[in-house]
Amino acid sequence: MNIALIAHDKKKDDLIKFINQYIGIFETHSLFATGTTGQRIMDETSLNVTRFKSGPLGGDQEIGAKVANKDIDCIIFFRDPLTAQPHEPDVSALLRLSDVYDVPLATNEGTASAVMLHLAEIKSKNN
């Protein structure tokens, strides 16, 4: 599966911690991320990540284009609901595209954990 990983600045540490929790699952999938988030993931884990631009510079839109082209199967986006984001219209467009193309989107750790458990279940059924 192609998994997109995105995190607002105040959520990047939480995303890295989450990825390390489920590293065995993540390492079996192709990972894509916005610029800074992707670099942090590569610096702090053993994972390879295809990086796009930073979110405010168009990275969310680049991932949205991959969603529209059916090149992304799942999005994990640790959003910061308490801080205004300068690129909120881009974020809203990405959320809309995930609904339009029926791409699972986890915007918090609880939902992301459920997605990871589902991916682990799929993996065990295929082995």
Query: Any idea which residues carry the catalytic annotation?
Result: 60
Q: Is 35 annotated as contributing to ligand binding?
A: yes
Alpha-carbon distance of 25 to 38, in angstroms, equals 17
- Residue 24: Cβ within 10 Å count: 10
100-to-40, 74, 103, 104 alpha-carbon distances in Å: 30, 13, 8, 11
Q: Is 92 annotated as contributing to ligand binding?
A: no
- Return the structure tokens found at 119: 């991916």
Q: Is 113 annotated as contributing to ligand binding?
A: no
- Return the structure tokens found at 22: 């489920």
Q: Is 38 annotated as contributing to ligand binding?
A: no
Q: Is 55 annotated as contributing to ligand binding?
A: yes
Annotated binding site for substrate: 8, 12, 34-37, 54-55, 87
Annotated binding site: 8, 12, 34-37, 54-55, 87
